[in-house]
Amino acid sequence: MEQRIFTIAGLAMAQEAADEADRYAKAHEDDDAEEDKEDLAKQREIAALAWKKKINSLATIPTKRAAAVRDVIIAAIAIARRANLTDVMTDLRSALQLHRPMAAGAAKVRALEVLANHGGYEKPDDEESGSEDEMEVEVDQPGMERKEEEAAKIESLLCGDAMMLFGSLGGDDDADRVDWKDAVKTCKTLSGIAALTETFVVKGGEMLNKIESDEETLKSAIKYWNGPGSKKRGSKKTAKFDSATEVWTDVELTQKFVWAKAEGYPWWPARVCKAKSKAVAKDLTIIGRELVSFVGQPHIQAVSKEEEMKPYCGETGDMEDLSQYGDDTVKHLKASIQMTRRILKSRGVIKGTPMKPKRSSNIFEEKKTAL
């Protein structure tokens, strides 16, 4: 059952792409060494400045604002985590452990001590000019509530057993489905088996409900695109379904790679999917749409063959200006491009190094949710 849900939910598809890309990377460690080293060094430099700036802001936050103190520390931990600054992350976690809902003084003092121990914070010369760090996260900016919830979930300080419970199916960075399976195999108590089973039922139920909902969405979308609504593409107010709408049907993943564009997102590497249902496949052909799965993502979208698909040439070139998209979107796009490049290199389809996505000074402004 676990394997079946993992497959039909698209998680297996995303995992397969990641595994194939990783196998190539391990077998050809020197291929992109300089490029990867440069990107990693840049990311760590940005992160080092960003978390320090974040913690430095604690000096101006009154201790009585316990929630704000906690949010700042969590945001700094999230930054350190993304950049693999393990020592910083560990030190900041020790500060977070001291936080209490009505007593943030100890956590604040400890966090500032961590900052001092790591060299303190020196304001860049251009900071007052309005430049923002790519990994910076403001406490009260729009959308921060969602970011805080995600960070809090990651940095919840749950014990290993608690994280293992939720490792079934998709899992997360702390425990994945392999860890969960090992936990089931080695479990020696009925209470442990019951807890593992119950969490799987909850997670599996949520996924199955979403699949059922997305399948109904696809049916409704096909009717919409095949009716009068399809002629109202220019009006976003009247449009009910578009290519960003998550849909579901049982599919077979093909080996055809394309550039695909979902509404509100940049051009993205994707693989064409074929619906196993002949009726669905016929309906999609009639309305001129193709099912695609963006590389590294579990979802499928129905895009217009004529307007939202291009042959995959292995290069981004100047397809569009990415400055209009948020930092999460661009980050996931870069990861998907790199993954696709490695997959196609492993198959001998491409040999050259594709161009990186076009950069801009404000490319990391948070405007949209990541794909």
pLDDT along the chain (371 residues), means of 10: 80 80 71 58 75 92 89 88 83 88 88 92 63 38 44 45 74 71 86 88 90 94 80 51 93 92 93 95 96 91 94 71 87 89 83 44 33 40
CA distance 3 to 350: 32
Q: How far is 154 from 81, CA to CA, in rounded Å?
A: 10
Contact 254, 273 (CB under 8 A): yes
Same domain, 359 and 276: yes
- Based on the domain organization, do 339 and 362 belong to the same domain? yes
Beta strand spans in 183-295 (E)? 251-260, 268-275, 289-294
343 touches 300 (CB < 8 A): no
* 84 close to 90: Cβ distance less than 8 angstroms: no
Last residue of a domain, one of 154, 172, 188: 154
Query: Would you state the pLDDT for residue 203?
Result: 87
Residue type, 295: V
Strand partners, 301: 292
> Same structural domain for residues 143 and 164?
no
Domain range for 258 is 10-31+208-371
Alpha carbons 342 and 371: distance in angstroms, whole number: 21
Question: SS3 of 301, please?
Answer: strand
Q: Are residues 256 and 359 in the same domain?
A: yes
Residues 179 and 312 in one domain: no
Give the Cα separation of 335 and 323 in Å (integer). 17
Same domain, 57 and 91: yes
Mark whether 173 and 59 lie in a shared domain.
Answer: no
Q: Are 266 and 322 in contact (CB under 8 A)?
A: yes
Q: For residue 129, what pLDDT is reported? A: 42
66 near 103, Cβ under 8 Å?
A: yes
Q: Which two tokens stand for residue 38?
A: 């440069």
* Structure tokens, 176: 């994945």
> Nearest-5° angle of CA 242, CA 273, CA 319?
60
- The residue assigned the tokens 């400890």 is 110
Residues 92 and 22 in one domain: no
What tokens does 24 get? 């190539």
Name the residue among 271, 285, 182, 297 with its Cα closest to residue 225: 285
Considering the domain architecture, whether residues 50 and 192 belong to the same structural domain is answered as no
- Please give the tally of structural domains in the chain: 3
The pLDDT assigned to 355 comes to 40
175 and 131 housed in the same domain: no
